[in-house]
Amino acid sequence: MASSSSFMSLTIVACLLLVSICSTNAQLSTNFYSSSCPNLDSTVKSVVQSAIKKEARMGASLLRLFFHDCFVNGCDGSLLLDDTSTFTGEKMAKPNNGSVRGFEVIDQIKSAVEKACPGVVSCADILAITARDSVVSLGGPTWNVKLGRRDARTASQSTANNDIPQPTFSLSQLISSFQKQGLSSSEMVALSGGHTIGQARCTSFRTRIYNESNINSAFAKTRQANCPSTNTGDNNLAPLDVQTPTSFDNNYYKNIVNQKGLLHSDQQLFSGGSTNALVQTYSSNPSRFSSDFVAAIIKMGDIKPLTGSNGEIRKNCRKTN
Ligand code: HEM
Ligand SMILES: *[C@@H]1O[C@H](CO)[C@@H](O)[C@H](O)[C@H]1NC(C)=O
Ligand SMILES: *[C@@H]1O[C@H](CO)[C@@H](O)[C@H](O)[C@H]1NC(C)=O
């Protein structure tokens, strides 16, 4: 009797433990596909490398896809679903429409992976590996990617509109937006270092270069030359990192210390508020930036994954099975 009741309580403790493991996403693991798809890493890497060789910016575009997927109901591949006459996805949401790119590269990766291991690897996991390989290909740090996410059968345009942070955001809005995803203000600053690569459209930074005062004036003039103050040239591009837009380094932080952040939101990180000191640290300590970025992007990859029998393994990243 006594031993059976202590067995019972042990069982209850074990179940509670399991539940807590499930809810902290410990079921994602770095070796998830090691027997079911042993060549996954090399398959993804070779497509990413050739895409970046063709166009260096593609590394930035691919990294951003992972961010925009994870921030909208978790890292579940929802961003990749195309709109149809009966389905509204996330691609036309305001932060994505005319801006996110790289879906053809994801298709290429998916078909290479399907050839090697049909029906095994999720599109959500492909985004996670692709983000890592893009950072590495552009000279940034590497990390072991946690895997085992499954793909959503749904998407939400309204959540994409609400949960992806906007370039007009203030520091406190940026902090809240990341906090909503379980990410701290320091993790927000580290992840913003993603803007050490890639490009933005004139429409995303026009107000900043014409109407803000905490901007280096020579820098503002240079940017104005290719971004008219009126509503023309909306899609004209400028590098997010004025110094090295195809190298994953800490120049992004040096720029904002020098009031050369391109987006209003970038400059907010160094505008006298609570994140000033960390920006200063990253601007002078590249290895500290690298290790904090890696820890934060791993944590971002843990946002609400579908696991177990939830979701599905899509055959085509653009549509549900
Ligand atoms: C902190 C809040 C953030 C805001 C407000 C923000 C906003 C933006 C905006 C407005 C653009 C330019 C879009 C365009 O004009 O077409 C952009 C580009 C980009 N963002 Fe962010 N972003 C944020 C965080 C992040 C994070 C966390 C990452 C990744 C770790 C990231 C990676 C990128 C990359 C790589 C690009 C360039 C993409 C390309 O060249 O195709 N961003 N972001
Ligand atoms: C997406 O962008 C295109 C081109 O700028 C525009 O015509 C269209 O109305 C936009 N769609 C939505 C849903 O905002
Ligand atoms: C700058 O601010 C003025 C005054 O508020 C406004 O009329 C103008 O449209 C703004 N220009 C840009 C490019 O945002």
pLDDT at 23 over 50: no
pLDDT at 14 over 80: no
> Is 1 domain-assigned?
no
- Is residue 264 part of the annotated active site? The answer reads no
231 pLDDT band, cuts 50/70/90, is confident
Dist. CA 207 → ligand 3 center (Å): 7
Q: Read off the pTM.
A: 0.93
> Is 147 domain-assigned?
yes
Average pLDDT, rounded, for the chain:
93
> Is 11 domain-assigned?
no
Same structural domain for residues 48 and 155? yes
Q: What is the pLDDT of residues 284-317, one digit of tens each?
A: 999 999 999 999 999 999 999 999 999 999 999 9
Percent share of the chain, pLDDT over 90: 91
272 burial via Cβ count (<10 Å: 0-12, 13-18, 19+): exposed
Q: Find out whether 125 and 149 touch, Cβ atoms under 8 Å.
A: yes
Q: Strand pairing partners for 168? A: none
pLDDT at 77 over 60: yes
> Is 238 domain-assigned?
yes
Dist. CA 97 → ligand 2 center (Å): 6
Q: Strand pairing partners for 201? A: 237
Same structural domain for residues 152 and 202? no
Q: Which of 109, 142, 163 is the last residue of a domain?
A: 163
CATH number at residue 189: 1.10.420.10
196 labeled binding residue:
yes
Residues 68, 61: Cα–Cα separation, whole Å: 11
Distance of CA 217 to the CA centre of its chain: 31
pLDDT at 18 over 50: no
* Closest C-alpha to ligand 1, atom 12: 200
Provide the 3-class DSSP secondary structure of residue 277: helix
Cβ neighbours for 7, distance < 8 A, ≥ 6 positions apart: none
Provide the 3-class DSSP secondary structure of residue 88: coil
CA angle at residue 244 from 136 to 253, to 5 degrees?
90
The pLDDT, as a whole number, for residue 8 is: 41
pLDDT at 4 over 50: no
Mean pLDDT of 255-280: 98
Mean pLDDT of 142-147: 98
Residue 111 structure tokens: 């078909």
Mutate to test the pocket of ligand 3, among 202, 208, 211 (most ligand atoms within 8 A of CB): 211
pLDDT at 10 over 70: no
249 labeled binding residue:
yes
Provide the 3-class DSSP secondary structure of residue 275: coil
Same structural domain for residues 203 and 141? no
Percent share of the chain, pLDDT over 70: 92
Rounded alpha-carbon distances, angstroms, from residue 264 to 65, 141, 231: 21, 27, 18
- Which ligand is in closest contact with the Cα of 220? 3
Mean pLDDT of 243-253: 98
pLDDT at 151 over 60: yes
17 pLDDT band, cuts 50/70/90, is very low
Provide the 3-class DSSP secondary structure of residue 82: coil
26 pLDDT band, cuts 50/70/90, is low
List the domain range (segments joined by +) for residue 46. 40-163
Look at the chain and report how many structural domains it folds into.
Answer: 2
Task: Count the neighbouring beta carbons within 10 Å of the beta carbon of residue 27.
Answer: 15
Atom of ligand 3 nearest to the CA of 210: 13
> Is 29 domain-assigned?
no
Mean pLDDT of 261-275: 97
Q: Look-up: residue for tokens 């994954």?
A: 305
**H helical segments located in 85-150:** 103-116, 123-137
> Is 33 domain-assigned?
no
> Is 73 domain-assigned?
yes
The pLDDT, as a whole number, for residue 2 is: 41
Residue 305 structure tokens: 């994954």
Q: Find out whether 263 and 240 touch, Cβ atoms under 8 Å.
A: yes
The pLDDT, as a whole number, for residue 27 is: 85
Closest CA to 167 of 204, 201, 124, 219: 204
Residues 26, 24: Cα–Cα separation, whole Å: 6
Closest CA to 300 of 96, 128, 61: 128
Same structural domain for residues 109 and 228? no
